[in-house]
Amino acid sequence: MADRISSITDLPLDVIVLVFPYLDVKSFLAFCSTCKGLHQNSISLDPAYWSHATRSTFRVPNQPVVQHDGVRWQKMYRRLLTQSRVYTWGSTTYNRLGHGYDPDAVRVARHAQRRFQHRQSTRCSFPTEMEKTRELGVIADMQCGGWSTTLLTSRGALYTAGVLDGMQGAIQSSSSADGPQPLGFPAGYPASADQAAYDEPTVAIRQFSSGRSHILALSDTGRIWSWYAVHRPALQIKFLNVDLKESPASGQSKSTTSLYGHVKKVVAGWSRSSAYIHGVGIVVWDPVQRDGDEETDATLVLDSAEVPCTGYQRIKGASRPAEEKQKRGQEIGVVTNHIMLEHFVVFATDTGKVFCARFGDQNAVESILELRSLRNSTGAACDVQGSFRSLAIFKNGEVITAHTDYLEACWDARHSNPDQTDIPGLKRIPALQQTNVISVAFGDYHFLALHSNGKITSYGTELQACGALGLGGDGDPEGRARGIRYTGFGHDGRMLPHAYTHGRQVWFEREKKRWITFMTSGGTNPDEAKERMRMFVTEVSVQGEISEWFEQQGRDWDKDPQIRDADEDGLGAYFALSVSAAGWHSGSLVLVNETLADRVTDMCTIRDPDLTDSEPDGDSEASPGILAASLTRLSNMGQAVINLGGNRNQTPAGQAFTNFLDPVNHGASPREGYKYVWADKSFPRLRLSDGREMPGRGDFDEWRYGRPEWKLGERFEQEVTAHW
């Protein structure tokens, strides 16, 4: 007979964890603190518990790549309570970003000609916090649509900035002063979950998806809602040929053991809507609108299409399935995720396979096709993400990207080349391989990757220098320092091949933007740096290396030993939880440690040593220190940059000279009486990878993390940067 159990710690771990789901966070922490045996990391940082607690409390969507990282989920839970912020960048038209103009850009634009001011007013190239979002409470998720940005609060309410369909000219967006607008429900329902007098699970949203011009959402009971305009109430989706079932609350059935007919997820695509329904599979239909009757609260979808072979389920304890279904399950597996592209549906299964299908008339799908080159040889499940014409596959630490041209080629060759041998189009961008990428968000011509360390990297092209990459710059030359090459009549900004080796991080510290502005203005001695800057502007290879040097120097400012004590959980000053992109703009949900961020700001700022003790502290009308010194050297700076032919922000030469006379404008000083720590630094002088030494009189600048070995050349550029 087994010894009598006298303590809960004598129980096996797999028995103890069965208690966890019944404990709220306060009770769970108290439980773990009762003894050393329960305080060990395998219990107190149980990933299943913290993932469930975070997702159920804040409605944060699951992140399969890190679902077993208990430390990450616990830190997210703690910081979401007070530190979630929403940042957006890119094209500002229709107020899709939910904030006013970039303050740095506006300050410069005040002195510029009208054409330049118009360009500035329609873009924001640096991440800027959305206005009036902190009063919404905890933001659980955000997604970008074609002309909009939509937020989900922890209470289950949706708010949108911009318009859902920018192609309808009569629709006008609200101003940023109004803040994001709530998405409402038909008469008879609470206006939104935030405004409900009691918990109403039929309108509390637990998952949503932004398409190009419409939004789909799934309520706690499993009800599907669809919006086609911000100021119009939602329509409930019902199907003629599919019997949907709802749960009593929290999106989980308590009255039955079967999930059949329950909606697991909704996905809005370019011009289609879809839902994954247990036991049915992926169901596709056209977006819906009212026919003039504003009192209509639901619509019956008469023409829906089911994607074949996507409804298989593995049910624990069920009797042995029929031989045909058993074979189907082994060959295809259970759908774990799906995406809606312009003409294709793509889905991944738990057998490590990826399938696609092309839509026909009325969204009909006749057959599916396995993308055999994307199969996970280990048999482990992989993930698929994407939108419009781009997709990414995650497997074994790899991130493989592709354009729909690849899907078209595989589909056209499904009979003549079933093994898809030698079909080009799959890309393995070096910066995305084995770098713990969690998700990839695609716009029309750009995309961003979120890494598990909370950093975001950008790739692709921002049309008309709209700022969708989030790297700052506002055109030449600051954007050049981040690896963007501006070309053509439209001034399109395309990432250089160098940027695909280690990526270019999106920075949230505005001091880094000021630093880049100062350095690309010529640094402390623009005349001495003139020849180096000429190389930087005219030679692509030099620009690539200079941009990588700036990239290394700009990383990890919040990891400095002087301020390490303010980083209690190791997540840094800005930790991105999610990233989203669509059309010409992007956004991110970010945890902000304001104490640490303020320490970074303080670390970058020092008193101007030329000030006398009798001068006021920072608010004097004139400062004979850095301001007086700048007036002398900036005369040369303005002419030096103008002579480079770089056409700095396309301003008239005389006006560019005027702007340079303000040390705050060009990034040398945060305010009168102070200067930045880089105010005495020169534009970098490097030993280039081709053996040349950049001209100049100062010492050579060293690489912070060593000069990379770039994989460059025409073939690399064609394979990695095609379609971007």
CB 373 within 8 A of CB 366: no
**Token pair recorded at residue 520:** 């690309």
Q: Which of 60-74, 332-346, 472-486, 706-720 has the highest mean pLDDT?
A: 332-346
Pairing of strands 492-495, 504-505: unpaired
Whether residue 607 has pLDDT greater than 80: yes
> Tell me, what's the pLDDT at 30?
78
Q: State the Cα–Cα distance between residues 299 and 315, nearest whole angstrom.
A: 32
Angle between helices 540-553 and 530-538 (to 10 degrees): 110
All domains of the chain in start order, with CATH: 8-77 (no CATH), 78-442 (2.130.10)
Q: What are residue 229's phi and psi, to 5 degrees?
A: -155, 145
Q: State the Cα–Cα distance between residues 191 and 182, nearest whole angstrom.
A: 8
Pairing of strands 484-487, 492-495: antiparallel
> Tell me, what's the pLDDT at 624?
36
Q: CA 49, 54, 55, 57 torsion: positive or negative?
A: positive
C-alpha distances in angstroms, 600 versus 86, 87, 558, 571, 710? 20, 19, 6, 14, 31
Report, as an integer, the average pLDDT of 403-414. Answer: 96
pLDDT tens profile 323-364: 666 677 778 999 999 999 999 999 999 999 999 999 999 999
Which residues make Cβ contacts (< 8 Å) with residue 139, sequence separation at least 6?
84, 85, 86, 133, 151, 152, 153, 154, 589
> Tell me, what's the pLDDT at 657?
42
Per-residue confidence band for 656, with pLDDT thresholds at 50, 70 and 90? very low
CB 562 within 8 A of CB 525: no
Q: How high does pLDDT run on average in the chain? A: 84
Q: State the Cα–Cα distance between residues 212 and 205, nearest whole angstrom.
A: 20
> Tell me, what's the pLDDT at 103?
52
Q: Residues in the chain, how many? A: 724
CA-closest candidate to residue 257, choices 265, 245, 266: 245
Choice among 358-367, 481-490, 498-507 with the minimum mean pLDDT: 481-490
Pairing of strands 235-239, 492-495: unpaired
Per-residue confidence band for 292, with pLDDT thresholds at 50, 70 and 90? confident
CB 656 within 8 A of CB 644: no
Three-class SS state of 675: strand
Whether residue 173 has pLDDT greater than 80: no
Whether residue 1 has pLDDT greater than 70: no
> Tell me, what's the pLDDT at 78?
74
Q: State the Cα–Cα distance between residues 276 and 274, nearest whole angstrom.
A: 7
Whether residue 717 has pLDDT greater than 90: no
> Tell me, what's the pLDDT at 648?
43
pLDDT tens profile 529-578: 999 999 999 999 999 999 999 999 999 999 999 998 898 888 899 999 89
**Token pair recorded at residue 279:** 């036991």
Whether residue 608 has pLDDT greater than 90: no
pLDDT tens profile 699-716: 999 999 999 998 787 777
Whether residue 128 has pLDDT greater than 70: yes
Amino acid at 168: Q
Q: What share of the chain is helix, strand, coil (3-state, %, to 5)?
A: 30, 25, 50
